[in-house]
Amino acid sequence: MFQQRSFCTIAFIILNLSIVTWALYAEGSKIAIESSVDRSKITIGDLIKYTVTVTRDESVKVQLPGLAENLGGFEIRDYHVYEPQKQDGKLIDKVEYTISTFDIGEFEIPPLTIFYTLPGDTTRQALRTEPIKIVVESVKPSEAGDIKDIKPQVEVPRNWRRIILFASAGVLVVLLILGVIYYLKKRRAGEPLFPAKPEILRPPHEVAFEELEQLKNSDLLQKGEIKLYYIRISDIIRRYIEGRYQIPAIEMTTTDLLQNMHQAEIDEGHIQLVQQFLELCDLVKFAKYIPTDEENVTILQQAYTIVDQTKWVEGAEPVAESAEAVMENGGSSPEEAQEI
């Protein structure tokens, strides 16, 4: 009877031990912690990477160590928490500290504690890292021995080639600065960098006759580009008026131009010629008016007449001439045609 009772007691103890062993193994397989450093021996002021790695099941909730942890005699220079990574069905959490110390000797990174909870259990449990030894050494002195006295000054021979090169570079820099100043001054004044050869200005009427002749020989009307034809013939007369009377005709409306011609006391008959000419041009340019073939011929004759009757000839009064005669002479007066 006693033997039977003893056997039952032993069996009960073995059963309890197996249950406890199984529970520790199950818990241990759900979470594990590891700590490491990238080097265990440093010189003063060097940085160390101290890493804490937690491997756990996805169902285990864990609280990782924070920035304010106590790392013994080490200062925390940086702190980084990595995103959890999956590996072999486990989650791997990693925290990395960058630490250093300015003391010399043998130090220990104390254990860090992490807290976790298992599924179905609200009890907060803890795991601790292993302490890690770190040796901090001083910066080694020179192998040559103790600090020696200061050596006497050594006179360095002059390098004339280098001196000449630096002097030449300095002269070039000064010349470059002067050139930039000269360029900016000319640009601000609206002047060319180098004096331009004086251009011999041709009389405005010669330029106008030449441009009218080129327009007459163009094929704009044959190609149906009537508006462009009237724009060009209008610009020719406006440029002529600008050169002949110093009135900015290109920038003015027809009304402003005629008003300025009245103020300049230009002959009334000449003003009427210009008015008739520009009014027809404006109709075609702005009012989409389509002129007849006769008006196309007339507009060119009017342009020749305006230039011929208003041109300035030194020592002579302007001589009126029919537009047909001027067109036949290619924009030359009878006297110029005879000389030719």
pLDDT at position 171 over 80:
yes
Mean pLDDT of 44-48: 88
pLDDT in tens, 290-310: 999 999 999 999 999 999 999
The pLDDT of residue 127 is: 84
The pLDDT of residue 26 is: 36
CA angle 107-113-119, nearest 5°?
160
Q: Cα 122 to the chain's mean position, in Å?
A: 58
The pLDDT of residue 333 is: 46
Q: What class is the 29-137 domain? A: mainly beta
**Residue partners of 31: CB distance under 8 A and separation at least 6:** 54, 55, 56, 57, 60, 62, 116, 127
pLDDT at position 156 over 90:
no
Sign for the pseudo-dihedral over CA of 33, 38, 41, 46: negative
Least confident of 23-32, 112-121, 221-230: 23-32
The pLDDT of residue 177 is: 93
The pLDDT of residue 285 is: 92
pLDDT in tens, 86-133: 888 888 999 999 988 888 889 899 998 888 888 888 888 888 889 999
Domain segments of the chain as ranges? 29-137, 204-339
Q: Hey, is 86 helix, strand or coil?
A: strand
Mean pLDDT of 4-19: 41
Share of the chain above pLDDT 90, in %: 41
CA dihedral 85, 86, 90, 96 (to 10 degrees): -10
Mean pLDDT of 135-162: 73
Mean pLDDT of 15-20: 34
Give the span between the Cα atoms of 319 and 205, in whole angstroms.
13
The pLDDT of residue 339 is: 38
Closest CA to 247 of 266, 234, 230, 223: 266
pLDDT at position 278 over 90:
yes
What's the alpha-carbon Rg for the chain, to the nearest Å? 52
Which of 201 and 211 is assigned the larger pLDDT? 211
Share of the chain above pLDDT 70, in %: 79
Mean pLDDT of 44-60: 89
pLDDT in tens, 231-258: 999 999 999 999 999 999 999 999 999 9
The pLDDT of residue 123 is: 86
The pLDDT of residue 161 is: 86
